[in-house]
């Protein structure tokens, strides 16, 4: 199946098909296809240019991330004239969070067009956000800042950025709980303990202690996820205190 998929994907790079796909995704016609081809090339292909530089989307991710942050920061700066630096930074983090970028990449179906030697079913969820960032980077290289800004407004800011909703949106429950504990001078600890579950996939179990009292437990497929899950449970258990 992966071989068939790669053949089908490679066809999208020939003739006008890839151009048409991009035009539909972008909302405008690309001038040069090369940066977009790179934006959909995974490092598993091990492609290099004539100077020996790797051809894949990873460097474009870096550029796209910077462009997203710049455009969103500019929008928030104008939209919330009374917001201080800390407020604006938190709001920007909510807009360009990894979870949100993954959702954007999924909505655009970007993974359907990626060139890879690895079956797409083996990729983690972050591949969607990575491709979205790489696409933004490719837009900047192809059409410059104005087109990049236009794409970000149409795909990110206009449909998703609502100041009031963002103010109530929680990115990390763990950060909220830690911030509250530090503010209230309460000792806290995330304790990993033996998971006795019978799942085929290894799970991590975590106890969150505050002032030496277990306030929440959780298990997940990674320590980070288990800590976030336990923090969310603790947040709701202590919601009347954490503000």
> Alpha-carbon Rg of the chain, whole angstroms?
21
Per the residue annotation, which of 133, 142, 149, 228 is the catalytic one? 133
Q: Which of 70, 90, 99, 89 is nearest to 157 (CA)?
A: 70
133 annotated active-site: yes
Q: What single-letter DSSP state applies at residue 41?
A: B
Per the residue annotation, which of 51, 58, 65, 211 is the catalytic one? 65
Rounded CA gap, 214 and 235, in Å? 13
65 annotated active-site: yes
CA atoms in the 13 A half-sphere facing the CB of 47: 16
Residue ranges of alpha helices (H) inside the chain are: 2-11, 17-26, 34-39, 58-79, 85-95, 98-107, 127-143, 145-152, 158-160, 163-167, 173-183, 223-237
Burial zone of 170 (CB within 10 Å; 0-12 exposed, 13-18 middle, 19+ buried) = exposed
Q: Which residues are catalytic?
A: 65, 133
């Amino acid at each position: 199946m992966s071989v068939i998929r790669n053949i089908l994907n490679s066809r999208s790079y020939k003739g006008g098909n890839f151009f048409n796909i991009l035009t539909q995704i972008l909302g405008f016609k690309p001038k040069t296809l090369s940066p977009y081809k790179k934006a959909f090339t995974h490092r598993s292909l091990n492609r290099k240019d004539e100077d020996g530089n790797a051809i894949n989307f990873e460097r474009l991710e870096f550029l796209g991330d910077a462009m997203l942050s710049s455009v969103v920061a500019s929008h928030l700066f104008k939209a919330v004239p009374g917001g201080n630096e800390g407020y604006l930074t938190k709001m920007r983090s909510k807009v360009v969070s990894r979870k949100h970028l993954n959702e954007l990449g999924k909505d655009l179906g970007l993974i359907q067009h990626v060139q890879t030697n690895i079956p797409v079913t083996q990729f983690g969820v972050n591949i969607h956000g990575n491709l979205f960032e790489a696409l933004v980077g490719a837009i900047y290289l192809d059409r410059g800042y104005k087109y990049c800004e236009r794409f970000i407004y149409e795909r990110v800011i206009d449909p998703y950025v609502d100041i009031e909703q963002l103010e109530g949106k929680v990115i990390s429950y763990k950060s909220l709980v830690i911030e509250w504990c530090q503010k209230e001078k309460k000792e806290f600890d995330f304790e990993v303990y033996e998971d006795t579950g019978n799942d085929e996939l290894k799970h991590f179990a975590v106890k969150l202690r505050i002032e030496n009292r277990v306030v929440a437990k959780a298990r997940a497929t990674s320590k980070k996820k288990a800590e976030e899950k336990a923090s969310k449970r603790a947040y709701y258990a202590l919601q009347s205190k954490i503000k």
